[in-house]
Amino acid sequence: MSASTIRKAKKLVENGGVEKIDDDLYQIKSSSDPNKSYFVTSDTCECPGFKNFYKFHHGKGLKANCSHLEAIRIFKEEK
């Protein structure tokens, strides 16, 4: 995963952009548009980056990641 993804994820957590809604359901603010947010679980995300990952890497057995999924990981570690 790229360093910029991790940096973005840390920023989201630090700025309070991660909100726990339910067990394994989080609402995370978009880092590019503060008026937008995505519902994210520990392995899926609604954001275009996540969806595009599977479009571009379909069938390669890779697991998609994005700054939001990474933010959850950091969020959980800090709790």
Interactions with Zn ion, residue window 7-46 (CB under 5 A): 45
Strand order in the sheet with 25-29: 18-22, 25-29, 37-40
Looking only at the bridges linking them, the beta strands covering 18-22 and 37-40 are: unpaired
Q: Is 44 helix (H, G, I), strand (E, B) or coil?
A: coil
Give the one residue of 68, 70, 71, 72 binding Zn ion; rule: CB under 5 A. Answer: 68
Minimum distance of Zn ion from residue 68's CB (angstroms): 3
Please state the closest distance from residue 71 (CB atom) to Zn ion, in A: 8
71 is a contact residue toward Zn ion (CB under 5 A) = no
Nearest-angstrom CA–CA distance, 47 and 40: 9
Using CB under 5 A as the binding criterion, the count of chain residues that bind Zn ion stands at 5
Give the binding site for Zn ion (CB under 5 A): 45, 47, 50, 66, 68
